[in-house]
Chain A
Amino acid sequence: MLLLRRALFALALLLAAFPARAQDPFAGLTASGFDDIRRGIEALATAAPPQAAATIAALQSGNLLSGPGGVLVIKQGDTLIDARTGQPAPGMTVGGVTAAGLRPVRVNNAVRRAAEAAMGSLTLFSPDTATRRKAAEAVFKSRDPASLEPLARAIAAEKIPSIRAEMEEARAALLLAIPATPEPEKLAAVATLRERGDLDARALLANLKDQPAAVARAAADAVTHIERMEQLWAVAQGIFYGLSLGSVLLLAAAGLAITFGVMGVINMAHGEMVMIGAYTTFVIQDIIRTSAPGLFDYSLFLAVPAAFIVSGGLGIAIERGLIRFLYGRPLETLLATWGLSLVLQQAVRSIFGPTNREVGTPSWMSGAAEWGHLTITWNRFTIIIFAMMVLAALMATLRYTSLGLRMRAVTQNRRMAASMGIRTPWIDALTFGLGSGVAGMAGVALSQIDNVSPNLGQSYIIDSFLVVVFGGVGNLWGTLVSALTLGIVNKFLEPLAGAVLGKIVVLVLVILFIQRKPRGMFPIKGRAVEA
C-alpha cells in the first residue's frame, strides 16, 4: 500500500516535471547541438526571465557551463552561480568542474549572432549608456519584430538624444521588416535610414523586398544618395590611408635620410636597425608583462627611448667597427652593409627564434573612432602623430643643438670643419648613431602594425631608399613631402590597379621622375653636393 502510494507520488512528480521542463526557458542552453542552443537563446529572450541577460552575457564571455541533468551555472571567478536563480550553486566548486561533468556551452557564429540579438532586446533599458547604445545597434541588426514594442518604450524613456536617434533608426529598420506597417510609416522609416547614411543603412535599403511601389522608389533613391555620399567620404578616407602609409614610410626613411642623405653612406643594414627597434619593444613588453603587468599600457613610452639607445648604440658600433674604413668606397660599403644585414638577421633568428614575436597593442591604440563616415583606426592615427614628432625632433636637433651644428658643418665642408677643431670622426659616429637610433624608434611604431620577425627590416629598405631619393638626398623636408606623396599615390592606385600592380606603377612613376630630375624633388643646391 505504502509502496503503491510512493509509486503514484513518483509518477505524479514525473508528470509535473515534464511540462515544467518543457517550459523551462533555460532548457535549450543545455542542449549539445548548435541549432538547439540557438533556438534556446531565442526562447530565453522571448520568455525574458530576470536572469536571462546575465546568462546570455555569460554565454558570450564563455563563462556559461552546462552539465548533465540540465545543470546550468555561470562561472564568476572561483565561484559558480546557478543561471536560473542567480544564487550561488552549492556543492560545485570550480575545482570540481570535471567531477560534475560541467563543460562550457558550445558557441559558433550562429549562436553568437542569436546571443547578440537577444542581448539587444534584453538590455534596452540597462542603466549603462554604452550597453543601451550596443542594444540599439543589436536590434538594428537583428530586426526581430518582437523587439518593436520594448523598443518603443525604450525610445519614450530615453533621455540621451544620440542614443534615442540610434533607437529610432533601429525602429525604422524593424518597421521596414514588418510587412503590415502602413505606407507613410515606411516612408518615414526610409527617410530615417537615408539620414543615417552609412553602409549598414545601404545594405538594409538595397535588400528590401515586397514593398509598396512608393516605398521601393524612395528606398532606391536613398541608396543612390547614400552611395554618392559614400564616394565623397571614400576620397577623404583614402587620404587618411595615404597619410598613414606615408607616415610609416617617413618613419622608416627618416633615419636613412640622415645616414644616406647627410653622410652619403649606403647602409643596407638600415632595415635591420628598424627590426632591432621592434625586438627591443618586444623585450621591454616582456619585462613589463612579467614584472609590472599594470604598466603594460605605457610600455611603448619606455620602448621608444630604449629602442633609440639600443639601435643608436649599435649604429655607433657599426660605424666605428666597419663603415669608417669604407668612406668614399660606395660599392664596398653597399656589399659590406648588406652582409652585415644578413648577419644581424641570423643573429636575431638565433636569439629569438625564427617565429614571429607577439608585440601587444596597448588598449588606447586599439579599435577605431568614427568621425562622420570616416573610420580612423587609433594605431594608425598614433603613428601619424608619432612620425611628425620624430621628424620635428630630428629637425630641431640638426638646427638648434651644437651636435646638429657640427653635423651640418662636417657634411658641408669636412676639411674646414676639421680645421676649426671639430673631431670629425666622432661626429661621423654620432651622426650614424642618430640615424640608426631614429630607425630604432621607427621599429617601435612598426611593431604595432607589422610582424616582428627577423625579416621585418627587409620589407622597408627599398621603400626607404625610394623615399629619400625621390625627396632629394640630404633634405628632411623633401623626405617628408616625398613620403606623404608616395603614401597617398599608392593608396589611390591600390583600389584601381590592385596592390601588386599599384606598387609597380608607383616605382615606374618614381623612375620617370628621377629621369627628369635626378636630384629628387627638393635638391640641395651649392658646391657641397658635388664633393
Chain B
Amino acid sequence: MSLIRKMLRGVGLAATALTALAAVPQAQAQEPIKVGILHSLSGTMAISETTLKDVMLMLIEEQNKKGGVLGRKLEAVVVDPASNWPLFAEKARELITVQKVSAVFGCWTSVSRKSVLPVFEELNNVLFYPVQYEGEESSKNVFYTGAAPNQQAIPAVDYLMAEEKVQRWVLAGTDYVYPRTTNKILEAYLKSKGVKDEDILINYTPFGHADWQNIVASIKRFGSAGKKTAVVSTINGDANVPFYKELGNQGIKATDIPVVAFSVGEEELAGIDTKPLVGHLAAWNYFMSVDNADNKAFIEKWKAFTKNAKRVTNDPMEAHVIGFNMWIKAIEKAGTADPAKVIPAMIGIAVPNLSGGYSAMMPNHHITKPVLIGEIKEDGQFNVVWQTPGTVVAEEWSPHLEGSRDLISDWRSPLSCGNFNVKTGKCGGASK
C-alpha cells in the first residue's frame, strides 16, 4: 500500500518537475526526511537495543506532531541487523543507498560500530552512536553521544579513591574491545596515581558467562589483603545478573567491597532481585532518578508511549534524545537535511540534556556531559551520591595511552582531521 503511494508520489513529483521547474521546491517540501534506525531487534543484543528503537520512534512521532522540521515530516526506517556484526554493515548500506536516509541512529557494541564505519565514510552519511565506549576513534561521519572513558570510567575511579579510599583494584570485564581498551586506560591511569602492580587484578570472562563462583571467591581473597578494595566492572550484557547474584550469595556487601559498573543501568537491574546489591555503584551521565522537570516530562512521555507504567529510562536513551535534538537543530541551521551540509553544522550546537544542563557538540564529534555516580537502591533505581560540578569534555584520544597521547581530533576546517598528531604535525599520524 505504502509502496503504491510512494510510486504515485514519485510519478507526481516527476510530472511536476517536468512541467514547471518552479514547482520543485514545493514538491520537495512534501517529501518526508527519512531517518534510519539500526538497532538489533533479535539476537543477544536485542535486550538493550530494542528500547533504543522505541525511543527513536517516540522522538520522531513527537517531532512530527510539532510539524516536523523545515516543514517536512520525518519518517522512520527501521531495520533489524539481528546482533550480527557483518549484517550491520549490509543494513547500513541498504539504509543509505536504497532508502536514502538522511541520518542513521544506531549500533550498541563497539564491534557493530567498527563494522558500519567504512560504509558511512564511503557514502558520506551520518551515524549517531549513543553508547558509552572505549574512545580511540573519531570519524567525520559519526557523532558520539555516549561517554568517552574520561566521561565515565576515570571520574568513577577518582570517586572511589577520594570517597571510599580504595587502594586495591579488581578490573573485571567481558572479553572484547570495549572492556580491554577501557581497562588498559584505567590501568595506566591507576599506575600514574601510584597504585602498584600487585594491587591490580585484571580478569576477563566470555559474553554471557554464568558461573561466577570462583571469580567472586578470588575477588574476596584479593580483597582480604588488608587494603580497601573495589571492583571496577566493565562486564557487559546479561552476564551481570549471575555475577551480582553470586556476590550477594557469597555475602560481599557494598560496604566491604564496592563494585562500580559502567554497563549496568536501570534496564539491566529490572531483571534482578536488587536487595543484595544495595550500595553497589554505577557511573553514568544520566540516571532515571535525576530530579528535574525535563527528565520528569521525558519519563512521563516514555511511559505513555510504551503504554507501560513500569518501563524505565536509561543513559543510552538520553544520548539518543540529545543526539536527535542536536540533529534537528543542525538541519534548521543548515537549511537542509543533506548529510554533507549537516555534518559541519553540528559542531557547536548545544541542547538541554536530561541531567539538568546543556550538552554541546564539540569539534571532535563528541559531546560534553556531566558525570554522575549512583548507588543502587532497593527498587532498582539509583541514588545519585556524587556528580561533577559542570560538564566534562570528551577525550576521544586518551592521554593515558602511549599511542594516542599526541593525537587530537578537530573536524572544523582547515584542520578537519580525526587523528592529528601534534608532535609530527600530520593528519592520520601514528594512531597505534
Contact = CB atoms under 8 A, between A and B. Distances in A.
Interface of A: 34, 62, 106-110, 112-113, 116, 199-200, 202-207, 230, 237-238, 241, 244-245, 248, 346, 349, 354-358, 360-361, 366-368, 375, 377-380, 449-453, 455, 459, 491, 494-495, 498-500, 503
A106 B383 contact: yes
A202 B224 contact: yes
Contacts of A346: 42
B226 A207 contact: yes
5 nearest A-B pairs in the assembled complex, by CB-CB distance: A207-B226, A199-B224, A356-B271, A354-B46, A206-B226
A34 B204 contact: no
A355 B308 CA distance: 14
21 contacts: A106-B383, A109-B164, A199-B223, A206-B225, A207-B227, A244-B213, A245-B211, A355-B270, A356-B47, A356-B238, A366-B249, A375-B250, A377-B213, A377-B250, A449-B245, A450-B210, A451-B210, A451-B241, A459-B208, A495-B218, A499-B204
Contacts of B164: 109-110
Contact of B375 (A109, A244, A491): A109
Contacts of A360: 273
B81 to A, nearest CB: 14
A368 B251 contact: yes
Contacts of A349: 42, 46
Given A361-B273, A459-B210, 18 more contacts: A109-B254, A109-B375, A113-B255, A203-B223, A203-B225, A205-B226, A237-B217, A241-B214, A354-B42, A356-B47, A358-B273, A377-B213, A379-B249, A451-B238, A451-B271, A495-B218, A499-B215, A500-B205
Contacts of B50: 354-355
Interface string B32-46: 000000000111101
Contacts of A451: 210, 238, 241-242, 271
A488 to B, nearest CB: 12
Interface residues of B, number: 52
A245 B211 CA distance: 7
**Main secondary structure on chain A at its contact with chain B?**
helix
B115 to A, nearest CB: 21
A66 to B, nearest CB: 16
A320 B399 CA distance: 64
Contacts of A354: 41-42, 46-47, 50
Nearest to B83: A455
A6 to B, nearest CB: 43
Contacts of B227: 207
A207 B224 CA distance: 10
Contact of B217 (A203, A204, A355, A375): A375
Given A375-B250, A451-B271, A199 B221 contact: yes
A451 B41 CA distance: 18
B42 A241 contact: no
B240 to A, nearest CB: 9
A200 B42 contact: no
A355 B204 contact: no
